């Protein structure tokens, strides 16, 4: 760990990741507009895909793999796997959106919302692939999207840059998202549903005994008491707090989620940037597998006895004004990430 992070300070690369060896092909960004996706390959193997199918209400990264090829994201609803929970069909892969933009809910929109209520929701429509750049040590993808209401009226234009990098046991996804207001007033109001999120595979959940819907061995939806075999997720934040009940709603520079999946020790982390709104962001860490970091929630996360003393989060963009968010997703395999390592990643990400 020490030598890896010493390289941070010496390398001219983003975050100073170790360079590829002579046998590596590097990182390839491969658009496939017919399939409405962009594949991200590390040394010829799929790391993740940016997908924008017409039946999703937002573009997402799905699936996401470790350096060993193990999938860390839930399969349901796109590719249901035995043991998957069947809750929250809007939780797909890794995404970015928010629950209250001009009183429209961009977070919860999915095929499950009845037509009579669609006017309460917003959608994010992929517009185009702006650019792709493959490289030996880093790949980049720039995309454009529109945040629209149910009539397709544009509230926000989005441009997002994904930077994909890593070496050895590490994989990194930096997401830089700029939102530009397209109407006179766009208001983001205190809401727990946000902002950058990943729906994790079953192994990363916390064990529980509450009956719920699951995909059974015949790939059918069945309501059952959970089988917790192999379910061993552990949240941890930069203050050393652990598990959902301690981490959820706390301001955190970074939060990690570790588990053993198929015998592989894996840590996934979301790192906040100091220039983001409300830094350090609040953690929306749920024991059932939702892993999110929210830069636009405040009062909604505090206990009722202090809620009235906590200012409501409200931010407004006027026509043409913009805001940029920057986050880092970290995926470590073949051993869990340490607090020392995560603190160093945070420091270098925030230089």
Tokens of 98: 């928010």
Output the pTM of the full model: 0.94
What would the pLDDT profile of 124-146 be if each residue is shown by its tens digit? 999 999 999 999 999 999 999 99
In a domain, 95, yes or no: yes
pLDDT at 9 over 50: no
Average pLDDT over residues 76-99: 98
- Interatomic CA distance for residues 326 and 276, integer angstroms: 7
The reply to whether 278 falls in a domain is yes
Q: Is residue 11 part of a domain?
A: no
Tell me if 84 is assigned to some domain: yes
Question: Could you give phi then psi for residue 316, rounded to 5 degrees?
Answer: -125, 135
Three-state DSSP class for residue 339 = helix
pLDDT of residue 305: 87
Is 14 among the domain residues? no
Picking from 169, 343, 168, 172, the residue whose alpha carbon sits closest to that of residue 266 is: 169
- Does residue 232 form part of some domain? yes
Q: What is the 3-state secondary structure (H, E, C) of 250-262?
A: CECCEEEEEEEEC
pLDDT grade for 24, boundaries at 50, 70 and 90: low
Question: What CATH number is attached to the domain comprising 310?
Answer: 2.70.98
Give the domain range for residue 63: 25-349
Here the tokens at position 293 are: 């970091």
Averaged pLDDT score across all residues of the chain: 93
CB proximity list for 20: less than 8 A, separation 6 or greater: 26, 43, 136, 137, 167
- Residues 138 and 164: beta-carbon distance below 8 Å: yes
If one counts the domains in the chain, the total is 1
CA dist., res. 294 & res. 103, Å (int): 17
Burial of 60 (0-12, 13-18, 19+ CB in 10 A): buried
Segment 168-182 shows an average pLDDT of 98
Look at residue 9 and tell me if it is in a domain. no
Residue 17 lies in a domain: no
pLDDT for position 12:
34
């Amino acid at each position: 760990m020490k030598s890896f992070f010493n390289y941070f300070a010496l390398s001219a690369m983003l975050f100073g990741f170790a360079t590829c060896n002579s046998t590596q092909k590097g990182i390839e960004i491969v658009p496939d507009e017919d399939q409405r996706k962009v594949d991200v390959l590390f040394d010829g193997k799929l790391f993740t895909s940016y997908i924008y199918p017409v039946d999703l209400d937002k573009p997402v990264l799905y699936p996401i793999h470790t350096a060993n090829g193990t999938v860390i994201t839930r399969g349901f609803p796109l590719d249901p796997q035995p043991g998957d929970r069947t809750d929250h069909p809007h939780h797909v892969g890794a995404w970015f959106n928010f629950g209250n933009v001009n009183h429209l809910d961009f977070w919860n929109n999915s095929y499950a919302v009845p037509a009579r209520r669609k006017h309460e929701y917003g959608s994010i429509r992929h517009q185009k692939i702006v650019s792709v750049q493959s490289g030996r040590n880093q790949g980049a993808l720039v995309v454009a999207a529109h945040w629209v209401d149910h009539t397709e009226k544009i509230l926000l234009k989005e441009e997002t840059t994904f930077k994909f990098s890593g070496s050895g046991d590490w994989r990194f996804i930096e997401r830089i998202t700029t939102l530009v207001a397209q109407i006179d007033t766009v208001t983001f109001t205190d809401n727990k549903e946000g902002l950058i999120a990943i729906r994790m595979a079953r192994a990363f959940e916390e064990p529980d005994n509450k009956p719920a819907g699951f995909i059974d061995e015949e790939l059918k939806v069945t309501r059952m008491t959970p089988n917790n075999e192999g379910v061993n997720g552990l949240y941890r934040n930069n203050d050393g707090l652990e598990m959902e009940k301690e981490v959820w709603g706390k301001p955190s520079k970074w939060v990690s989620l570790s588990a053993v999946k198929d015998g592989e020790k894996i840590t996934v982390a979301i790192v906040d940037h100091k220039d983001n709104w409300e830094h350090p962001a609040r953690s929306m860490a749920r024991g059932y597998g939702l892993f999110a970091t929210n830069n636009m929630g405040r009062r909604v996360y505090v206990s009722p006895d202090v809620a009235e003393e906590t200012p409501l989060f409200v931010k407004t963009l006027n026509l043409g004004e913009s805001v940029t968010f920057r986050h880092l997703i970290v995926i470590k395999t073949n051993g869990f990430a340490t607090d020392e390592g995560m603190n160093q990643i945070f420091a270098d990400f925030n230089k």
